[in-house]
Chains A and B, each alone.
Chain A
Amino acid sequence: MSELHHTSLTALAAGLRARRFSSVELVRACLARIDRHQGALNAFISVTREQALTQAEAADRALAAGEGGALTGVPIAHKDIFCTQGVRTTCGSRMLDTFVSPYDATVVRKLRAAGAIMLGKTNMDEFAMGSSNETSYYGPVRNPWNPALVPGGSSGGSAAAVAARLVPGATATDTGGSIRQPAALCGITGMKPTYGRVSRYGMIAFASSLDQGGVLTATAADAALMLREMAGFDPQDSTSVDRPVPDYLAALEQPLAGLKVGLLKEFFDKGLDPQNEACVREGLRVYEQLGARLTEVSLPHLPLSVPVYYVVAPAECSSNLARFDGVRFGHRCENPRDLQDLYRRSRGEGFGAEVKRRIMTGTYVLSAGYYDAYYLKAQRVRQLINADFIRAFQSVDVLIGPTTPTPAFAIGSKTADPITMYLNDIYTIGANLAGLPAVSVPCGFVKELPVGLQVVGPHFSEARVLQAAHAFQRVTDWHTRVPQGYA
Chain B
Amino acid sequence: MSLTREQLASIAALARLDLSAAEVPVYQQSLSSILEFIGALEAADTASVAPMAHPLAGLSQRLRPDVVTETDRHEEYQLNAPQVAAGLYLVPKVIE
- Contacts from A to B (Cβ < 8 Å): 98-100, 102, 195-196, 209, 235, 238-239, 241, 301, 304, 306-308, 310-311, 318, 322, 325-332, 336-345, 347-349, 351, 353, 356-357, 359-361, 363-365, 367, 373-374, 376-384, 386, 417-419, 422, 433-436, 459
Among residues of A, the one whose C-beta sits closest to the C-beta of B16 is: A343
Known A310-B37, A367-B14, A384-B44; further 13 A-B contacts with Cβ < 8 A: A235-B64, A238-B61, A318-B15, A328-B81, A341-B92, A345-B18, A348-B17, A363-B14, A374-B41, A377-B42, A379-B51, A380-B44, A380-B52
- Let me know if A364 and B31 touch, CB within 8 A: yes
**What mask results when residues 82 to 96 of chain B are scored 1 for a CB within 8 Å of chain A, else 0?**
110000010111100
Interface residues of B (CB under 8 A from A): 8, 11-20, 23, 26-27, 30-31, 33-35, 37-42, 44, 46, 49-56, 59, 61-62, 64, 73, 76-83, 89, 91-94
Contact: B55 with A435, CB < 8 Å? yes
Q: Is the CB of A209 within 8 A of B53?
A: yes
Question: Known: A241-B59, A342-B92, A363-B11. Contact between A383 and B49, CB under 8 A?
Answer: yes
Closest to B52 in A: A383
In the complex, are the beta carbons of A356 and B27 less than 8 A apart?
Answer: yes
How distant is the Cα of A340 from the Cα of B12 in the complex, in angstroms? 12
Docked-complex contact B19 and A348, CB < 8 angstroms = yes
- Residues on A with C-beta less than 8 A from B13 are 344
| Residues of chain B with a CB closer than 8 A to A337's CB | 92
Contact: A360 with B15, CB < 8 Å? yes
Which residue of A is nearest B78, CB measured?
Answer: A328
Q: Which of A99, A338, A359 contacts B92 (CB 8 A)?
A: A338
B59 touches A418 (CB 8 A): no
Q: Are A195 and B19 in contact (CB under 8 A)?
A: no
Contacts of A417 in B (CB 8 A): 30, 33
18 contacts between A and B (CB under 8 A): A102-B79, A102-B80, A238-B62, A304-B40, A307-B38, A327-B82, A339-B91, A342-B91, A351-B17, A360-B17, A374-B41, A376-B51, A377-B44, A380-B52, A383-B50, A383-B51, A436-B55, A459-B55
Known: A100-B79, A360-B31. A327 touches B17 (CB 8 A): no
Contacts of A361 in B (CB 8 A): 31, 34-35
Shortest beta-carbon distance from A357 to chain B in Å: 6
Nearest-Cβ distance from residue A77 to partner chain B, whole angstroms: 23
In the docked arrangement, what's the CA distance between A374 and B11, Å? 15
A303 vs B64: C-alpha distance when bound (angstroms): 40
Q: Taking A196-B56, A377-B42 as contacts, is the C-beta distance between A359 and B15 under 8 angstroms?
A: yes
Chain B's closest residue to A416 (CB) is B30
Q: Which of B31, B41, B46, B81 sits near A311, CB closer than 8 Å?
A: B41
Which residues of the other chain, B, contact A377 by a CB distance below 8 angstroms?
A: 41-42, 44, 46
Known pairs A308-B41, A360-B12, A419-B37; A347 contacts B92 (CB<8 A): no
CA A372 to CA B16, docked complex, whole Å: 23
A459: chain B residues within 8 A (beta carbon): 55
> Which of B15, B30, B59, B82: most chain A CB closer than 10 A?
B15
Contact of A327 among B8, B19, B42, B91 (CB under 8 A): B91
